[in-house]
């Protein structure tokens, strides 16, 4: 843990070892070696596909009044996948960064993830307790989905940054000889 303390020495999130890099070499190695990276890589696109399908079903219900059961089931499926990816993602962060959540490079993504989880959980509570109309709960689900889309974009941008970082690390410095 001493390395973790050193790496997170700055209260403003600056790191003496990380600099502008998303991963230190040690973190990149742990990321590449853990099976949790593959788990996240499988769950994320599945959750996204369920999000697309559920959005269609919810909007269809709101526009036509048809398919209430399918829309509700799809929201519950999306919520279950969200909980699963959050749990497995926290395990991934622990393996890679030594923290269950809120590791420095993913702090904002985790913050928005908690907002998304809170809204999904509110939907489930409202459904189980009979709070509000079905339409109001569906609108809540769409709000949660909108924030999920922002969160998914955050993670895609981090994935892109990691790929660019890896590509830059593999290119020899200008003027370097072999």
Q: What is the pLDDT of residue 17?
A: 56
Q: Is residue 4 predicted with pLDDT exceeding 60?
A: no
Q: What is the pLDDT of residue 54?
A: 98
Q: What is the pLDDT of residue 2?
A: 38
Task: Tell me the C-alpha distance between 136 and 133, whole Å.
Answer: 5
Q: What does the pLDDT look like over 113-136, one tens digit per residue?
A: 999 999 999 999 999 999 999 999
Task: Tell me the C-alpha distance between 145 and 116, whole Å.
Answer: 8
91 compared with 168, residue with greater pLDDT? 91
Going by C-alpha positions, the residue among 45, 74, 65 that lies closest to residue 142 is 74
Task: Tell me the C-alpha distance between 54 and 51, whole Å.
Answer: 5
pLDDT, averaged across the chain: 88
Q: What does the pLDDT look like over 25-60, one tens digit per residue?
A: 999 999 999 999 999 999 999 999 999 999 999 999
Instruction: Summarize the confidence of residues 95-120 as an average pLDDT.
Output: 96
Instruction: Summarize the confidence of residues 140-146 as an average pLDDT.
Output: 98
Q: What is the pLDDT of residue 167?
A: 81
> Which of 6-20, 120-134, 142-156 has the least mean pLDDT?
6-20
Q: What does the pLDDT look like over 155-174, one tens digit per residue?
A: 999 888 888 887 877 766 55
Task: Tell me the C-alpha distance between 131 and 124, whole Å.
Answer: 10
Instruction: Summarize the confidence of residues 134-145 as an average pLDDT.
Output: 98
Q: What is the pLDDT of residue 164?
A: 86
**Locate tokens 């990691």: which residue?**
162
Q: Is residue 72 predicted with pLDDT exceeding 80?
A: yes
């Amino acid at each position: 843990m001493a390395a973790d303390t050193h790496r997170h020495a700055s209260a403003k999130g600056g790191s003496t070892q990380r600099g502008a890099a998303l991963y230190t070499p040690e973190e990149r190695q742990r990321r590449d070696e853990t099976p949790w990276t593959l788990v996240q890589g499988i769950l994320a696109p599945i959750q996204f596909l369920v999000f697309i399908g559920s959005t269609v079903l919810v909007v269809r219900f709101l526009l036509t009044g048809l398919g209430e059961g399918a829309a509700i089931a799809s929201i519950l499926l999306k919520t279950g996948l969200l909980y699963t990816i959050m749990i497995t993602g926290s395990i991934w962060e622990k393996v890679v960064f030594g923290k269950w959540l809120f590791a420095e490079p993913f702090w904002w993504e985790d913050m928005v993830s908690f907002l998304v989880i809170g809204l999904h959980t509110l939907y489930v509570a409202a459904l189980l307790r009979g709070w509000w109309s079905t339409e109001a709960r569906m609108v809540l689900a769409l709000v949660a989905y909108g924030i999920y889309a922002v969160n998914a974009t955050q993670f895609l941008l981090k994935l892109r940054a990691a790929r660019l970082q890896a590509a830059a690390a593999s290119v020899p410095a200008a003027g370097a000889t072999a």
